[in-house]
Structure 1
Amino acid sequence: MNHLTIQEQTIIRQIRSETGKRNIDNISRTNAYFHFFKKNPDIIWSFLASMVSRNGGWNMCDLEGSIFPQLLDVKVRKQLFLTYERANWLIFHDVFPQLLLYQYSTKINRPMFHLLPYFNVSAFIQKEWYGYWKENDRKRLTTALIINEQNVIQTPVIEHPVYKKKVFRSMIFSFQDWLHFSSVLFPTCGGEVYGASANGFKSLSKRINLGKRLANILFHPRLFPYFLEFAEKTPHTGSRYDYEQYFKIKTKRNTPLLRTSFPVIAHNQHIYEDWSKHRRVSPKWLHHPVRHRHPIHLTDWYFTKSNQLQLLLSIHKVLELEKWK
């Protein structure tokens, strides 16, 4: 840091401070992504991040909703929450300094990406930011950020021995994966839901492919205004009632508010490794065209899955089964 100018040192300190302030919980992260997008609408990945982060909050609150506490042991639910939270935290910790540095660069009309190494971001994404500054290719940057952030969580979360054993090899995770219960949803204020299923979550390539498909849905010219309207009108609470309130069939709140259900978690920073130094960037990650194998309009699917969950709960009660541990 000694060879940096006072201005550069100040920028680094301010960005670290701002990132820390926003990286408190799922609510603060979701809001930070969306706020950034509104200030910097060319960085469309930030809107994608805010909508995917909303889904992360909904998944967290499902764990304390009307169904999962009756099916899952409290230890399992806690471990699932910590897994969602860790991935959520790590991605924000990695990407938000990148976003803030870009924002600062636009203010002074000069790229400041030479400071990116001070935030321990991959060589891959550093190169991509320089490329974006020159080419202004939004789609390329969005894809690059999807690739980067999924690689960021691969080793410390997906391949971490504790998460691997207690979460990704667990029966409930396999069950969710198999039945496509874990989906990323983009709601509208008209009571419609769009999105894509997230099965094969353990696979890095499948998660990257999902991210690309989600970006394709979110920024579809016809649909984007509806998703933006939802995001602007609907404060993120973590409860699925955020969007269920818009359904034509009225429903009661089945999942709680995130901040009344979960504590703020103090995270330890893992030892940083640049994933791009030891993991090859597959050409298909960057260049493979997006294909939707399943319908993206999921309103009917959502009600079907909700009914299946209720049925599962009923069977569980009738058979007097133990909670999954």
Structure 2
Amino acid sequence: MRDDWLRSWMRLLGTVPRMTGEALKGKYAGWKASKRLRHPLREIPWNSRSAEAALADAERMFSMNGRSMRAPVTNMLQSEEDRELVELIHNETTRSNRSNITRTAAYLECYNRFPELHWALLAHLVSRNGGYNMTDLKGGLMEDLMTGQQREWMYRLLERCNALIFQDAYPQLLLYTHSRRLGRSCFHLLPFFHVSAFMVPFWDRFWTLRDSPLLTVALIINEQHYIEERVIRNPYFQKHVTRCASFRVHDWLHLNQIVFPLGQDSGLAGLIIEHFTNLNERIGFGKSLYALLFGYEQVLTQAHSFAQNVPHKGSRSEYWPQLFTPDIKKALHSPYESAALNNKERLPSNSKLYSPTLEQVWSDTPYEPIPRYDWFQGMLNPSYLSKPRRPFLFEMTHEHRFGIRKTAAGHDAEILLQ
């Protein structure tokens, strides 16, 4: 028995040099693939004066109303049509906020109807990644690296962020779709959905100018501020997740990657966020993701085609069927996952990594009432409202596989230590 254990450890340690070599090769391959994907460019028009004017309007609104600003009650609505619209949007939001699966589909439907809503497609793809991270917690590699309670806490953080952003942003998107349907602006109803006063001038400008980049950046700023106090700085999540060693393990394993699948066998574009708990970094990261998606024609075309043709169920087998399976009976169950990944680009059909669908491993999660307050207090870091810059290196296929290999090595080591 001890000889078998030693051989297993030697096999695991033997994968380290090869992993290191593969990482260096992967960097070079990623550079070459990024070069191929960088052309043709898509213009990201940016009007600095419009951005400054919108922010000045938001600051002026705050100075006039200050902390006394409160969301009006529904019976203050002036018309029956507005009352019905507010109720309709509330109901649609509640129905679509049931799970990561329904949220992700709702974002894509918005974008498909109105492609000028760039943020909706970005949100769809980021929400897909949220679903993958949720199922990873009970997949074949991560399950042995965390306790059941740690997985539950991590899931609650991911789900809470996903649900809160949707709760805030989706009514804004629906107000635009109904404004288009009615042929008039309905953004005077934003306060009835507890939307920050920060967003009002940006939606007003978008209604007349259709300035997609400016609206997208404003929504990125808004949503990251929205979850900052409600989740990231929440004492519960700080105690059980963000200040725990298991959360730092996620960073080391590069599970903080956001990937845009370019097809089921066409590679991945994406970026890595180094410090998820840092507000400035999350905003900059969101802007870079946007510039990646809408700044390169090939990335946009291929990522949107993937989103259209591959329904989101939360399994990584959706974009990498050569490595992952949602069928646990066909999954690899041994302390040799890292060796298998080192030796083969594709795994046999009966020995792939287990990546379940969301509905296989997590139930719909009701969440606590949302704290109702406006994060915007009359001032904003002016650097946030700047033109998004296209990232230079973004092809992630090899980098992503390397992260999977590190997770597999951790998984194998954990099993051998048991």
- Shared fold by TM > 0.5? yes
**RMSD after superposition:** 1.6
| d(CA) in 2 for partners of 1:123, 1:60 | 32
| d(CA) in 2 for partners of 1:224, 1:292 | 14
- Alignment partner of 1:199 is 2:274: yes
Unaligned ranges ≥5, structure 2: 1-74, 324-343
Query: What residue is the counterpart of 2:148 in the other structure?
Result: 74
Render the CA deviation track for 1:62-119: whole Å, top value 9, x for unaligned. Answer: 0000011111000000000011001111000001110111111111221111010000
Give the superposition deviation at 1:273: 0.7
Q: How many residues align?
A: 318
Deviates more, 1:206-215 or 1:125-134: 125-134
SS in 2 for 1:27: helix
Query: Of 247, 253, 261, which aligns to 1:173?
Result: 247
Task: Report if aligned partners of 2:291, 2:390 keep a CA contact under 8 Å in 1.
Answer: no
| d(CA) in 2 for partners of 1:254, 1:93 | 31
Query: What residue is the counterpart of 1:300 in the other structure?
Result: 398
Give the superposition deviation at 1:317: 2.7
Query: After superposition, where does 1:1-325 map in structure 2 within 5 Å?
Result: 1-189=75-263, 190-219=265-294, 220-245=296-321, 249-251=345-347, 252-277=352-377, 280-287=379-386, 289-290=388-389, 292=391, 295-320=393-418
Task: Report if aligned partners of 1:178, 1:199 keep a CA contact under 8 Å in 2.
Answer: no
Give the superposition deviation at 1:128: 0.9
Task: Report if aligned partners of 1:61, 1:258 keep a CA contact under 8 Å in 2.
Answer: yes
Letter in 2 for 1:226: Q
Task: Report if aligned partners of 1:129, 1:141 keep a CA contact under 8 Å in 2.
Answer: yes
SS in 2 for 1:276: coil
Give the superposition deviation at 1:191: 3.0
Give the superposition deviation at 1:246: 6.4
SS in 1 for 2:177: helix
Q: Which has the larger radius of gyration?
A: 2
SS in 2 for 1:224: helix
Task: Report if aligned partners of 1:191, 1:244 keep a CA contact under 8 Å in 2.
Answer: no
| d(CA) in 1 for partners of 2:205, 2:245 | 43
Letter in 2 for 1:135: L
Deviates more, 1:260-269 or 1:228-237: 260-269
| d(CA) in 2 for partners of 1:264, 1:19 | 15
Letter in 2 for 1:10: E
Task: Report if aligned partners of 1:146, 1:208 keep a CA contact under 8 Å in 2.
Answer: yes
Give the superposition deviation at 1:123: 0.4
Give the superposition deviation at 1:215: 0.8
Instruction: List structure 1 runs of 4+ shifted beyond 6 angstroms.
Output: none
Query: What residue is the counterpart of 1:323 in the other structure?
Result: none
Identity of aligned residues (%): 34
Give the superposition deviation at 1:313: 1.8
Give the superposition deviation at 1:288: 5.4
Query: What residue is the counterpart of 2:34 in the other structure?
Result: none
| d(CA) in 2 for partners of 1:84, 1:3 | 35
Q: 1:7 to 1:177 in 2, by over 3 A?
A: same
Give the superposition deviation at 1:135: 2.1
Give the superposition deviation at 1:292: 3.1
Give the superposition deviation at 1:199: 1.6
| d(CA) in 2 for partners of 1:68, 1:171 | 14
Task: Report if aligned partners of 1:79, 1:167 keep a CA contact under 8 Å in 2.
Answer: yes
Task: Report if aligned partners of 1:182, 1:198 keep a CA contact under 8 Å in 2.
Answer: yes
| d(CA) in 2 for partners of 1:99, 1:200 | 29
| d(CA) in 2 for partners of 1:309, 1:188 | 23
Render the CA deviation track for 1:150-187: whole Å, top value 9, x for unaligned. Answer: 11100110000000111100101122224533100001
Q: TM-score, normalised by structure 2?
A: 0.73
Letter in 2 for 1:216: A
